[in-house]
Structure 1
Amino acid sequence: MSLARTFIDVRPLRTSPVFRRLLIGRTVSVLGGFMTLVTVMYQVWDMTHSPVWSGAVGLAQALPLVCVGLFAGSWVDRGDRRRIFLVATVGQAVCALLLAVQGFTGGVPVAGVLALVAAGSCFGAVGGPAAGVFVPRLLPKEQVAAGLALNHASGQVMMLLGPALGGLFLGWFGIGLCYLLDALSFGLAFYGAFGLPALPPEGEPSRAGLHGVLDGLRFLAGHRVVRGALVTDLAATVLAMPVSLFPLINAERFDGNPRTLGLFMSAVAVGGMTATALSGSVTRLGRPGLVMLCGAGTWGAALAVFGLTTSPWLGFALLMAAGAADALSVVSRGTIVQTRTPDALLGRVTAAEQIVGQAGPHLGNLRGGLVAGWTSGPTALITGGLLCVLAVTWVGTGTPELRDGRVTPDEA
């Protein structure tokens, strides 16, 4: 295998100008979103000095995704996905612009700030499932995994740059400009999707309301491969999410050194970026189920061993390995969802994937904190990692279609 095939597959950038434009718009918008996240956290803390209100920021972002997501997916599967995405993008831009206005003028209570954050999250819960159909509709099937890897890579880079730039701009220009930059970033996302053709669902449109939601849930329950992919992701996040345990592990094992804690937080992201940059051979393999299972199992095993180590350097290496495995697992999960789901159901299934991706880490951090409170940080890490490995083994053993990758998009 040539060295060039090891690096991330950039064929979608060369062959699809539309995908290239979408990726640029998405990247800038994600950067603005991370800047806004830092800005909101800073503003809420500055207004209240309350950890409860600071925690409410995450709730304001996550709750609309869960409550609106499935119904939004049903709506997306009844209409033109391009138009729905454009409307949702305008809604997000307006919410960001209103945040900028209150940032410049002041006088809005903290509940009003969180209400604007929640409103923007509602529009995001609609735009996410709509955008979920773009890659499989714009790229040949053999390039879908590469397109998702490029999306994931750009998101991880912005995850590192966004908070840093947000902190710098906060210090230089204040909260109003940071929100305004986020509002402007949605303009590029809008431009990226504006030139798309109409993208109505292929096949029978979704039924309205709860009936359409239930149809989507029935598909998830009956399609063994897609169901296995989402269950695997839940096992990895709910059982083994380590972020809430980092401060405790740092205090128990490494004398509470803040630099060590910062490196723990960065190591997972660095591992994920490295793996995504070298994902070419994996995305060309054509076995996303096997890659996802191996990645999720490696994630759990690396975190379990991290719970045993007393060496910070070995700990960093293990967290980088966990981040690399998780990145490949996430890309493979998206590939499975977007290539195995009929287009007429893709909005609802993408909405479910979005909910799993958002709610799973929150639940996993809660689980880790509770177990650590009853036992210890290392115990929470070790047990969570081992349970993750067992759960992934159970899914892989019970779902040979997922492991072997021998299904077509229409098989259940």
Structure 2
Amino acid sequence: MDRVSPPLDTAPPTRSHLIDLAPLRESPAFAKLWVGNSISGVGAQMTIVAVGLHIYQITGSTFAVSLVGAFALLPMIVFGLYGGMLADAFDRRLVLLVAAIVAWASTITLAALAWTGVEVVWPFYLLTTVNAVAATVIGTVRSAVLPRLLPPRLLPAAAALSGASFGVMVTVGPAIAGVLVATVGFGWTYTVDVLLFLSAFLGIAALPRLAPEGDIHRPGLESLRYGLAFLRTAPNIRMSFVVDTIAMTFGQPRVLFPAAGALVLGGGPVTVGVLTAAGALGALLSSLLSGRVGHRRWHGREITNAILTYGAFIVGFGVVLAILGLGLFGQVAGSVGSPNIAAIVVASVMLAGAGAADNVSSIFRQTMLQTAVPDNMRGRLQGVFTVVVTGGPRVGDIFVGVVAAIGALWLPPLLGGLLILSLLLAVTRLQRGFLRYDALTPTP
């Protein structure tokens, strides 16, 4: 019979609001994997920002930047699902190692293109697609590994630590990328990522052998069918995917940042780095104050409230851009192109609030998936989860690019935030059982 993880009520009481470091103390393998992923992730976020700036420099088009997500979307969906099947069929450590090699090779090639001065766009689309596919497989397998390294009572704390590392990645990485691109160029920016990625291999090498448990299905349509059949019987897991898809589809304004830095807020690449880092800083702060998340019972309610908060902050970001774009209060700081410090600060606060809310939602969604799903299905369900959390923003990039092309820069976040609020209220009204999900008796 498939084994479902026990409930979370075995965790000892936690009085502090500060992040719980127990997973790092109790599992050396988890600690090394976490450190390696955190360091390599800084470089990965640098490359994400650098590619957007690079394509915008070549084309001058926000829509061209959004196509990075469009081209990568279908391969990410396919390999997110396939990566989950691989995680349920083979040694998860080996799968991680192969995917990491592919990701590293694609970054090396990006650096080579920059150093040789290639100004053709299609190789950047191809290589970022390969990199995104490898990252999707890595994310899927790594999440499926955690319940094998940690007891269930520490999984919420592990999710919070993952949020903290993501916050560091997307705070430090884009800020460094903005400075490096503006000072030494794209070649050095990609090269730094190549060097930082070496730490990922050290974390993977520290893992024990992680052979699959329970019934094993060879990767293919039959394995996928078993996973999807389980998902049809898991309304809470299904609903967690739906609400996050809504948030990521309509609340991802990142492809606007290059144009916002050049045309509205001013400051160019440095502003792009600041805006990208703001959301991650919010995620980092919320993780640092996550000490008691392991004792929150009603995860469905927590997820819903967090995503509603996220939508409200995205609306606020759209309002900031609209005020400047429409000139409602005049030009606050000089001509277009010079940094408007006041507007950048307010916009960053809105994005930080959105990042904090998204991180809270992620902590509870990850915990729900890792405790309510049996181990021999966890890889495939993590595959679907990874497709949602990585593919959703790619769809969001397309939404933002299209709406911005036919409207104005401020329209996508303003419209998208309002859609998040209205759609989330509608779907949770239809699926009220999600709001009653109890972590003490986790049911998929």
Query: What is the CA–CA distance in structure 2 between the aligned matches of 1:44 and 1:33, rounded to whole Å?
Result: 17
Indicate the larger mover: 116-125 or 23-32. Answer: 116-125
Indicate the larger mover: 134-143 or 182-191. Answer: 182-191
State the 1:167 CA deviation. 3.7
**Residue correspondence of structure 1 range 212-223 to structure 2 within 5 A:** 212-223=223-234
Residue from 133, 138, 148 that aligns with 2:149: 138
Corresponding residue for residue 283 of structure 2: 272
State the 1:198 CA deviation. 1.6
Change (3 A) 1:31 1:244: closer
Corresponding residue for residue 356 of structure 2: 324
Corresponding residue for residue 346 of structure 1: 378
If the length of structure 1 is used for normalisation, what is the TM-score?
0.84
| Per-residue deviation, residues 207-243 of structure 1 (Å, max 9, x unmatched) | 4312222222222232011001111111222244455
**Residue correspondence of structure 1 range 45-60 to structure 2 within 5 A:** 45=56, 53-60=64-71
The answer to which structure has the higher helix fraction is 1
Change (3 A) 1:378 1:112: closer
Indicate the larger mover: 58-67 or 368-377. Answer: 368-377
The amino acid across from 2:395 in the alignment is L
The amino acid across from 1:342 in the alignment is P
Greater relative contact order (Cα < 8 A, sep 6+): 2
Corresponding residue for residue 225 of structure 1: 236
Change (3 A) 1:107 1:367: closer
Corresponding residue for residue 88 of structure 2: 77
**Residue correspondence of structure 1 range 95-110 to structure 2 within 5 A:** 95-105=106-116, 110=121
Query: What is the CA–CA distance in structure 2 between the aligned matches of 1:167 and 1:257, rounded to whole Å?
Result: 15
The amino acid across from 2:192 in the alignment is L
Q: Percentage identity across aligned positions?
A: 31
Indicate the larger mover: 280-289 or 74-83. Answer: 280-289
Query: What is the CA–CA distance in structure 2 between the aligned matches of 1:373 and 1:300, rounded to whole Å?
Result: 22
**Residue correspondence of structure 1 range 158-177 to structure 2 within 5 A:** 158-170=169-181, 174-177=185-188
Change (3 A) 1:275 1:220: same
State the 1:264 CA deviation. 6.1
Corresponding residue for residue 358 of structure 1: 390
State the 1:84 CA deviation. 0.5
Change (3 A) 1:244 1:37: closer
Unpaired runs of 5+ residues, structure 1, are none
Q: Find out whether 1:19 has 2:30 as its counterpart.
A: yes
Q: Find out whether 1:86 has 2:118 as its counterpart.
A: no
State the 1:76 CA deviation. 2.2
Determine helix, strand or coil for the equivalent of 1:6. Answer: coil
8 Å contact 1:264–1:316 — kept in the other structure?
yes
State the 1:39 CA deviation. 3.5
State the 1:24 CA deviation. 0.9
Q: Find out whether 1:337 has 2:345 as its counterpart.
A: no
Number of equivalent positions: 409
| Per-residue deviation, residues 248-298 of structure 1 (Å, max 9, x unmatched) | 9999xxx93436986765554433322222111223324432211111122
Unpaired runs of 5+ residues, structure 2, are 1-12, 324-328, 330-342
State the 1:351 CA deviation. 1.7
8 Å contact 2:283–2:357 — kept in the other structure?
yes
The amino acid across from 2:266 in the alignment is P
| Per-residue deviation, residues 133-157 of structure 1 (Å, max 9, x unmatched) | 1222111111111111111111122
The amino acid across from 1:339 in the alignment is T
Change (3 A) 1:198 1:400: farther
Query: What is the CA–CA distance in structure 2 between the aligned matches of 1:242 and 1:36, rounded to whole Å?
Result: 18
